[in-house]
Structure 1
């Protein structure tokens, strides 16, 4: 079972308006698609986590004509969750279609970065991964970041962590955040996983809460 991680480079005209907003505005680093429901007749529901201030992002949403509904939920640090219902644009449907064709499984999150790239990971047979790259819409360049044998972590304590929480925990262990005395910082964790220190701290808090709840519910034996 193989996996492929790519960065898709789009022209500004092809980007979603809110991705272009993240590219153009100071203070925004990445918008991550965390969950979604499959589109019905082109319309889907999506949950994002956006690293950056709520304003002026909130005001910009009103100008996106493809949105039928949206809500924001601010986080303690300078980030927020975004729920949207949206009619997918033609170019968005073409990109989604290339990487969700039969035989492929998308691994969330999908990252819409301030450098203008869309970063995503898919799992499946090697020939289907190659087909996805070849069928990327014309005018969008695909940069292959990683390819190899997929080795997801097994079930057990921590299996309910999100992929992003798991990345934060791995980075924290690597930098010595859990050593006694503590050797690493949330700033170093954030640098490893490309996010703000406050976001790294929040990811670790949520991961710790999830793992402790699993341990408490399963008992000592």
Structure 2
């Protein structure tokens, strides 16, 4: 059936938090040695891994991790502990890195993000953004004029549901006003984003590669499903 609406994940799909060496200038490991490129890359992975837990957490912090995308305070608590266990020296430096993570201005759109959003909106296709997240990502779109092409944002911390719970997909499908069977979900995680299939949506997977390494992933996914 023809696609009438497209739902996009945010992190690793439309935007990505890119590695910037300047963030790690003053960071050192336990013996005072500056972090090397591999250690910096691992820190970035731990900051942005949407599902995989990368450290051992006690019961209190594990609970915060499990519910991090429902509450900003829990999100902060879980990630500060992850950064601490990842070797970030001191609360001040961990807080500085965390502020980067939750600042929409630090996120980089994929090369084809703007064009595909404009084309979808121009063709009359309804467009939504659906994210497991604990902070407002709308400014990342507004700063680039891309908010004009988004019909609805559904963010987990605002609606009290997280992917892959079918409820959060139903919320966005209903707001977009298209039948589930005519709606395509595009995301970078088979389990979380692929949960859209449980309510009858189509699903397309994109790889959460660095932005320079995925110039046309969104367009390819849309074309595969006849949405562009």
TM superposition score normalised by structure 2:
0.29
Higher strand share: 1
The structure with higher relative contact order (CA 8 Å, sep 6+) is 2
Higher helix share: 2
